[in-house]
Amino acid sequence: MLSDDELLRYSRQILLPQIDVEGQLRLRAARVLIVGLGGLGSPVALYLAAAGVGELHLADFDTVDLSNLQRQVIHDHAAIGQAKVDSAMARLAAINPLVRLHAHRQALDEDSLAAAVAAVDLVLDCCDNFATREAVNVACVAAGRPLVSGAAIRLEGQLSVFDPRRAESPCYHCLYGHGGEEGLTCSEAGVVGPLVGLVGSLQALEALKLLAGFGEPLIGRLLLVDGLGSRFRELRVRRDPGCAVCGERDER
């Protein structure tokens, strides 16, 4: 059961018939890994903590830099030089002390990433490089964990959900293969702050839908955000039966 404090704290979303008390209990029991605490990970972590997701695992090996503050809203000026994980944990604990927080301050190698993914129910890819996205995807397919993946650069963003528990779902590799703008980051190409806030907020919404069991997640669909024209476009994405990552998962 939910305590009186929880019923009041989460009352506005409990009022929604799609969530209700049962959905809130699912959120409280959920364990989530957020990979990256920058522009995307900031709104993701803030909204999931505020919504009452019971356990957040935070992974980022970087420290807060002055140039981050234009878009990474979980950090503030006083946190410059601190580990992003520590800065984020302090902010999240202040927002919702009921949420359990776990830190991954070092870069995750293949083994530690596999263990971190296996320890949770859902993963959010909020990182800023293609190699990490690929590694997170491989770990999620191997562990059978749903992955909410977002990206934003310049004035463009994209978002999709990959769920290896569903036979029809593609994985990240089905969509991008070995391509992608590897090495191209916001520090080189630029990005506007509200765009990463928008994409990260949508990632948080997709996570809540998957965890609480409501709505239609973006599985098999790629949402494209045009920040310059304020337009959204959706593309259908199919699973590649010959995919090097998930193509043989039914036989494993």
Averaged confidence pLDDT in the chain? 95
Q: How far is CA 69 from CA 39, 81, 127, 170, in A?
A: 9, 12, 16, 34
CA neighbor of 153 nearest in space, from 234, 233, 43, 71? 71
In tens, the pLDDT along 102-143 reads 999 999 999 999 999 999 999 999 998 999 999 999 999 999
Q: Which residues pair with 160 in a beta bridge?
A: 149
**Residue 7 within a domain:** no
Q: Percentage of the chain surpassing pLDDT 90? A: 92
**Residue 51 within a domain:** yes
Alpha helices in the chain (DSSP H): 4-9, 11-14, 20-29, 41-51, 84-95, 110-118, 130-143, 172-176, 186-189, 193-212
Looking at the 3D structure of the chain, how many domains does it have?
1
**Residue 5 within a domain:** no
In tens, the pLDDT along 194-232 reads 999 999 999 999 999 999 999 999 999 999 999 999 999
**Residue 159 within a domain:** yes
Six-digit token string for 109: 């190698």
Helix (H, G, I), strand (E, B) or coil at 96: coil
CA neighbor of 117 nearest in space, from 100, 98, 135, 99? 135
pTM value surpassing 0.75: yes
Domain that holds residue 135: 13-251
Look up the CATH number of the domain holding residue 85. Answer: 3.40.50.720
